[in-house]
Chain A
Amino acid sequence: MIYNEAIECASRENLKNLQSERLVKVVKYIYDNSPVYKQKFNKLGIVPTDIKSIDDITKLPFTPKEDLRDSYPFGLFSTDIKNVAEIHVSSGTTGNPTVVGYTKRDLNLWANVAARSIACAGGKKGDIIQVSYGYGLFTGGLGIHYGALRLGATIIPAATGQTKRQIKLMQDFKPRIIACTPSYILYLAEEMKALGVDPRTSSWEVGIFGSEPWSIAMRDTIDKTLNMRATDIYGLSEICGPGVAQDCEYREGLHIWSDLFYPEIIDPVTNQPVPEGQPGELVITTLTKQAIPLIRYRTRDIVSITYETCKCGRTVPRLSKIKGRTDDMIVVRGINVFPTQIEHALLQVDGALPNYQLIVDREANSLDKLEVLVEVDEKFFTDELQALENIKATIKRAIDSTIGLGVSVRLVEPKTLARSEGKSKRVIDKRNLH
């Protein structure tokens, strides 16, 4: 089902006109309301009247993630906090988290794009949807919730965890759709098997899976294991949360709602656009947001884009699955983890940073596991086993509370962790996600 056919199937020309009109408007709005952006514009010698169409977008400055951190909490907002209806928080690279806000109009926009996304996945009014994303500061749960409400679906706000209860909810209420992370659906399948329930008999026909990268091989596994259609949803809280782009039934790329979130794919080193179909960093401009509109936001996600009309009839461009990152962020159980956060936690423990490495792996039950290897340092080595175990436990506590995820910590001998050109290889990801 196409939720908004006029937009999703608009002619290239109409879409471009709409984008141009909106860009002109949002640039003026930001310039008038955000001192941070005004300064960025001034630095480049740009005034809003320089921007006449969407083609002028390349004249505008980029917004790196650091801008959000540096202006914590509300410095990048283009509106007074009293006009903000809702706030969400995600992990920052270091120290301060990333804070985003939504005015009532932004929430309305979010509901619309999430409704479009659920419909694009194959949902429709009257469907029962089990929302097994985290509700709260994380955007996943509430974003899908607002979208389902807008679409007219029946929502089971199951949130995360309590796997047995999730299975019971499915058995008793027979939801047609489930939304969660792709690793969690496989975990649910494992738990069902353990309970003697054949995952293929589940009521779920459509899955809306996101907030962590996953491969097409994993999609095939989910399809087969649960006899369902697994679709990919893309979003990031800085742009609006889930509902930025979504697979349709053909799953040949995620439709990005480019009337609202204008995509560019650039070479992350030269900052120049890459040709259609080539991988590059996804850069998004929010064309209508009020609370925290962002100009050319560097998502650090590597994707490719195609502008060809899809078999489903939608004309909006399609993004590939995420092929990688320009930074060393990893996603573990839907939570963004930056090595710098681990450093921050280790510094709290010891006052001086020991060498460390992160190993991410997927366990047999499909849950992701993050192991932190820490080189034993002369500063904290003692001949007492208990004292070393205590240090290990302290490190674990500091990391767990910093990233909001349970890790396992392993102490290793000095100089055993790989270093390349003097700098360690901080992250080893064994999951084959891309």
Chain B
Amino acid sequence: MKTISQVSIFIENTKGRLANVCGLLGDNNINIKALTIAETPEFGILRVVLNDTEKAKKILKENGFIAKIAPVVAVEVSDTPGGLAKALKVLADNDINLEYMYGFVEKASEKALMVLKFDNIEKAIEILQQNNIPIVDDKVALGL
């Protein structure tokens, strides 16, 4: 598997809402491996990579949350100045549109682990591989 699963959750921008979602996941023994929030003044989209996506989807749905699963790519970049820039330059040079990206909470190795979302994911994987940028599978990324 060259991709990992990301869960996106719609949350209103109200007090305690993020705590509710994270609490719900924690209570069900689901670990957040990576996380980012895109927000407007009224609402936000919480994007997370979890150690058990299917279970999370079921629990979120049962609790009235709207969640969507999408494939993303986890990429290892060197944790040194310019490490990320190198990977991004490869993508830009090859006209790959990166929708958004964020970092993992913990590192699987000595390198930094990033989550990247593309509109054309196959093409992106192809370019990354051609340029020897390591893609990490879910076993490694999620520490399974």
The stretch among A45-53, A361-369, A406-414 that forms the contact with chain B is A406-414
Q: Which B40-87 residues have a C-beta within 8 angstroms of A?
A: 40, 42-43, 45, 47, 64-66, 68, 70
In the assembled complex, A172 has its CB within 8 A of some CB on chain B = no
Residues of B within 8 A of A414 (CB): 10, 64-66
Q: B10, B68, B70, B99: which has the most chain A beta carbons within 10 Å?
A: B10
Q: Is the CB of A411 within 8 A of B42?
A: yes
| Interface of chain A residues 369 through 391 with chain B (CB within 8 A) | 376-378, 381-385, 388-389
Cα distance A392–B40 in the bound complex, in angstroms: 12
Min Cβ gap A406→B in Å is: 17
Whether the pair A385, B38 counts as a contact (CB closer than 8 A) is yes
Partner of B12, one of A382, A383, A385, A416: A416
Cβ contact within 8 Å between A381 and B66 = yes
The count of residues in chain A whose C-beta lies closer than 8 Å to any C-beta of chain B is: 17
Minimum distance in angstroms from B61 CB to a CB of chain A? 9
With an 8 A cutoff between CB atoms, is A168 at the interface?
no
Given contacts A376-B10, A383-B6, A383-B47, A413 and B64 within 8 Å (CB-CB): yes
A388 touches B45 (CB 8 A): yes
Distance of A414 Cα from B67 Cα, bound (Å): 11
Q: Does B8 contact A (CB under 8 A)?
A: yes
Q: Cα distance A414–B68 when bound, in Å?
A: 14
CB distance from B122 to the nearest CB of A (A): 18
Of B6, B64, B99, the contact of A384 (CB 8 Å cutoff): B99
Are B66 and A385 in contact, CB atoms less than 8 angstroms apart? no
Interface residue from A377, A383, A388, A413 paired with B65 (Cβ < 8 Å): A413
* Interface check A12, CB cutoff 8 A: no
Residues of B within 8 A of A389 (CB): 40
Chain B residues near A193 (CB-CB < 8 A): none
Q: Is B11 an interface residue (CB 8 A)?
A: yes
- Chain B nearest CB from A371 CB (Å) reads 11
Bound-state Cα–Cα, A410 to B41, Å: 10
State the CA gap A382–B43 with chains docked (Å): 13
Residues in B whose Cβ lies below 8 Å from that of A415: 64
Q: Which A residues touch B66, using CB under 8 A?
A: 376-378, 381, 413-414
Question: When the two chains form their complex, are residues B64 and A383 in contact, meaning their CB atoms are under 8 A apart?
Answer: no
Give the complex CA separation of A381 and B64 in angstroms: 14
CB distance B42 to A410 under 8 Å?
A: yes
- A contact residues around B8 at 8 Å (CB): 381-383
Minimum C-beta distance from B107 to chain A (A)? 25
A413-B10, A413-B11, A413-B12 as given contacts; A383 in contact with B43, CB under 8 Å: no
Residues of A within 8 A of B42 (CB): 410-411
Q: Which residues of B contact A381 (CB under 8 A)?
A: 8, 10, 66, 68
- Interchain CB contact under 8 A, A383 and B11: no
Residues of B within 8 A of A413 (CB): 10-12, 64-66
Q: List the B residue with the shortest CB-CB distance to A383.
A: B8
A230 nearest CB across to chain B (Å): 37
7 sample A-B contacts, Cβ–Cβ < 8 Å, listed by A number:
A377-B66, A382-B68, A410-B42, A412-B43, A413-B12, A414-B64, A414-B65
**Which are the 3 A-B pairs with shortest beta-carbon distances?**
A383-B8, A385-B38, A415-B64
